[in-house]
Each structure stands twice: as structure tokens, then as C-alpha cells.
Structure 1
């Protein structure tokens, strides 16, 4: 059904099946608020959870109406059957960041903002993403040594210990799920006595985990997007810990703490800034990314060599998210923030998957 004001009808899919869903829903609500009363787009916040996908209709006292997933339409008593012109995804973990929703939207022929099925799936799996970056033979971006551990193969501690004994890895190491976001299940192991609990914590999130060499250095993150076929970089952010043994874990991302500062723009030398930007653009191109993504990197001490951490193909975009801070520093805030998202919308409408 065509909207009475002839606005484009946008489904904001938000939430997800994992613990990250709460923050993702918050991002969706933020975008809904930004577009409230907009003359060009009418948004519908679709809650995505394991019980189904639904829209809470304010015109019907908040009554829930479920999306027909056969054709991705919504039937409302006040508006009739709604066929969406565009979808925006704020779905943490599965089924959003792993490519499942993107595949569904490609099948139902609904244009969407962001990465397609393949680029979402390969970047969501940190092991596959790291292997691909290594295969790129980048002159700028490096990958730290790592091993894969699978829950189905009863090796666990002994395999990691033998790898440490050979010298391929050395303490400290990072233990993390291969396919989970928001640093859920991630631990830094500085002493061998911490290994068993770190593996157990990671296996709570995934059957496939990675043990990788910890990089001593500066933790940075870069927002990247494409508009009019031009890849653009947002101001770079550095995450600074007063406790040198800390890292940007899930609790800090969600709640913050007094020991962690998020600094935008990062205080980088011109040479380092150019290398980081060049590396981020290379990764965006070679992973065939689309829309707005965040690329996490480390600058190793003392020479600030760039190391790859991960690509977040659906970064949080709440009022307090790093991406939102970067957009503000680039001048995309207030009324201009709406213009930024409109450009992403227009870009999505011309992409052919």
C-alpha cells in the first residue's frame, strides 16, 4: 500500500536473538526518533526476537502486529497492507550480523541499507575474517597469530598449552568466540591459571573460539561508509584504558567505566592517521562492504604497526555509540544527521545484489 503522504516506507529491523539485541533495539529506536515527522520517509520499528517480528502500533494503543515473513509485509487496521520500500538493520548477532536477514531480504527483493549476505557472514566470523585479511597481503594491515578451538573436538586446554609451549603464541593471549559481537565471551589471559575459565566463558557464546596473540598497543576504531561510490572515513576514535591490563569488553561497551576513555578524534600522527585510513579503505573494498561499518584495529607499540581486530558490519548507533560520536565530530548531527541517513537510504535503493 502506498502511504497517503507518498513517503517512502522504511522498516527499521531492530533487536536480535542474542544478548546484543537490547543495544541493537536501542539503536533502532534512536533512528526512529531521528526520522519522526520527516517529510520524505515514514519509519516502522520492527522488533526482531525469537518469538517473532512485530510492530507496536501507537495508533492502536501499542497493539502488536506481526510481520508476514512470506513477503515481508505488515497489515495494520489504520493503514492496510504495507509493503516496505526499504529496510534498515539494527540486529545484533544472529540473525542480523551473520547475514541471515540480509539473505532473506535479498530473496524477498526488499532493498536494505548495509552489507549483503556474504560480506556480513564472513566478517561476523572473526576466524574467517582474519584469514581473509591475511590473504589480502596488505602492505598496511597485519593479522596477529591465532589458533581455532572447536567445542566438538575435545582438545581445549591441552591444544592451547601445546601451542604456547611451541612459541607460536605467548602470554598474554585473547580468547574470544569466533562469531559473537559486543565483546561477549572475550577474555584476556595473562596467566596460564586463567585459561580454563576463559575457554569456558567463550564456549558459552559459540562452539568455535579463537585464541590469538594479544597486541600491546593503542586500541582504535574507524567508521567507514560509501556514498556516491566514494568511500569515506569518519574521525578515528581511540579507546584509552587507565588500567593497562584492561581491554574494551562487553560490560565497558554497554555501561562504560571510570577507567576507560573514548577519544574522538584520536591523537595520531599524520603518518599513522594516513596508514589507518588507507587500511580501513582497503578492508572496506576487499570485503565488499556497504553502508556504515566500524573497523576495529590495534596500533602495536612502539612503531604503531596496524593490526586487524574485526569488522562490525552493523555497529551500534544509539545516542552514545562511538559511531554517533564520530558522525558528530564530522558535522553530521542535529538536522544534518537526518541528511546523512537519507544519503545512505538513497545509496541502498540503487545497489543491485
Structure 2
């Protein structure tokens, strides 16, 4: 009977962030090849779907577990990855005014902070606002052949918006097919090595949403709502639209949830409390986060400084939502678009 490989056993004590299993059991790593003559080990590590932070953490853990084991002096780690299929995640709502664009921009920035390669599309053809939120007003995209080149932002998130293609303040009076074609040009742009494309949809359940679903087949949808009953009714319609089109629901985000008085600290609920979470439970879809009603979020957004880019506590709700999205993506095989 062969004795157990102590090096493989050591690797298998390290948890795969995507599955929770050991690196060997999950297939994330092959048993190390050990050369005892020069006391080195070689490890092939599949990093498909892992963030930069996860990759660095696993590398540190491998070295920590193996160096010194049976006199091992060095570990050489070769990281490999399958070509990542770009995942299209749409952010929708049943009505306007619930903060969907603010949530979309901050999710994109939070994903970037978590190590993902992410892009942002402002698909609100008739009322684009992402150029203001992402401090890219007045910029115009270039084209290469028939494809647009996304605009670089100072937050490390490339983006495209109808606001980049029309004059500031210009009204766009297009019928559904024209709007759908314009949206297609934004999504089919040259996004390079972007892994996740966040698409900020217009409010409602009309032609633009249907065109996008039919043509681009999103990997998942995030629904944004306030706790208010009227907003929840419309959010339920948005969930129903995506479910009928077999687009998986990543989860519901409750925005403007609770206001803390800056003077006395008392929390009040001008839009109600817990409604979106309760609706998610009733509809049997995940609830993935709550964003408070804070003046700091409004001021930062108006100034083109999304709070998710800051190191302050106000960024945490968006980082939590982005983390929930990454966990969902790791657990599901998502289609290309």
C-alpha cells in the first residue's frame, strides 16, 4: 500500500474560495511535483474565476504550507486559467427614482476593488446618468473598425453611455428598435479582457429590456428597489420579466434603507423598512444587500466620486453586494453574450 503524499495532503488543507473544498479535492491544484534533490516543489494552480486577492491569498497559503515540510526550501507555482467567458449582469428596477444607476456604478467599482476586470454600460438610453456618476462627462469614445472603444475612467472601470454619444442635455426621442440598436453597439464594443459587464438598464419592463434579453442573454439580473410598497410592486414586475425570459435573478438590493440623523444618530425609515427583503423572501429570490439613505452617498455621486471608490465605511454596503455577486458567479456557470 502506498503511503499518503504529505505534500498533496498539505495542499488539500487549503480551501478553494469558490467551493470550500481542499485545493486537490476541488481540482484547483494537481498534486505537487517534488524534487528532493534540490528540495523544491512545483504546483500547477488553476485560477479560473478567482479574483486577484484570492489568487494572492492562495499563493501565500501554498508557500506557507509547503516550505519547511520535509525540508522543502522553495515552491514554484504556475498559474493557469481557462479563457473566461464574459458575463453580462444587468441591473434593473420596475420604476425610476430608486437609485439603480448609483447602485450599478458602485457595484462596478466595488468589483474592481475586489480584483475583477469589469466594465460598465449605461443602457438607460433616454435618461443616461452614468457619465456624471463616473466623472466622464464630455468625453467621446473612439472606434476601431465597426466597434466602439470604451472610455477609460479614473476608477479603473471602462464604460460607455449614450451620454458619450450625444450633446449634453440633448433629448433622445427614439422608438424601441432604434434604442435597441444603440444599446447593442454599446454592449458589443471592444471590451478587451473585461470579465464582468455591468449593464444599468432603464427603468421598467419595455422594449429596451426585451431586446437586450433576447439578443444578449444576460448571465443574471440584480433588482434594485426601495422599501416603499409602490416601488416593490414595480420591482416584482421586473423580477417576473426576467424569470419569464429565464434570466437568473442574482438577488434584490434594498436602497435608501434607513436614515441616520447626522445630529442625534436616531435612525428613521422614510421609505419603510425591510420591504425589499420581505418581497425577496416571498418571491423566493436571494436578498443580497441593503444600502442606507445617506447624504454622503448623494454628495459623492453628484460630485462624480462614487462612494465605493473611497476607503470610508460608506463603501462597505457596495463591497458586500459585489462580494455576493462574485459568490453567485462562482457557483453558477454563466453563458457568453
TM-score for the superposition, normalised by structure 1: 0.32
The structure with the larger Rg is: 2
TM-score for the superposition, normalised by structure 2: 0.34
Which of the pair is proportionally richer in strand?
A: 1
